[in-house]
Homo-oligomer: A and B are copies of this chain.
């Protein structure tokens, strides 16, 4: 999100993490700005019984774990490396100074938060509808519009049913069954287990 050269100029440091490694834990106090350079990071709440609630699968260029930068609360979720990854991080006070000195970066950040919040509205709306189909299509629409978790050139989704379940709060079986129904209705295509989403009409989930 923020240009890496800018971050480096302000004294940010790289950090390598290997697949499965925990970058930070929910509830911990912390004071870094984090941005993913390469690899993949899961931003997730892990339940007492080990159940996951994935808030986002972070891709290169995106920041994550920003809440503690703006209040003095703890991390809202745990960040786990999903693959070997490279992250860059900057101390909180330095980050805040950077924001203050760069209104353009600051504004872009505000825009990003607003966009995420807009998406969370859509998620909550579909949750409230108690309809698995709606939850899944809200997720897929969102990912599609962000061009995330899809094979760049084709329409193939590169998430497992389990990951979709963790991102929607549903169970794997429900996701599998619901997506099969959606396939039968022609809302998406499943071929040899892989999911292909046609370009969707942008709903007013806005």
Q: Which residues of A contact B (CB under 8 A)?
A: 26-27, 45, 47, 51, 53, 55, 66-67, 69-71, 73-77, 99-100, 103, 106-107, 109-111, 113-118, 120-125, 127-130, 168-169, 204-206
What would 15 more interface pairs be, CB under 8 Å, given A55-B121, A71-B114? Answer: A27-B204, A47-B129, A51-B128, A53-B125, A53-B129, A55-B124, A67-B114, A70-B111, A73-B206, A74-B206, A75-B206, A100-B103, A110-B110, A117-B117, A124-B169
User: In the bound complex, what is the Cα–Cα distance between A103 and B27 (angstroms)?
Assistant: 30
* Complex contacts, A114 vs chain B, CB 8 Å: 66-67, 69-71, 113
Asked if residues B121 and A123 are in contact (CB atoms below 8 Å), the reply is no
**How distant is A129 from chain B, measured CB to nearest CB, in Å?**
7
Number of copies: 2
Q: Distance in Å from the Cβ of A154 to the closest Cβ of chain B?
A: 27
Q: Whole-angstrom distance from the CB of A66 to the nearest CB of chain B? A: 7
Partner of A111, one of B71, B118, B125, B128: B71
Contact A206 B26 (CB under 8 A): yes
Give the chain B neighbours of A125 by CB distance below 8 A: 45, 53
Q: A122 — which chain B residues lie within 8 A by C-beta?
A: 76
Complex CA gap A151/B76 in Å reads 29
Do A67 and B113 form a contact, CB below 8 Å, given A128-B53, A169-B128? no
A93 to chain B, nearest CB (A): 14
Within the assembled complex, what's the spacing in Å between the Cα atoms of A76 and B69? 26
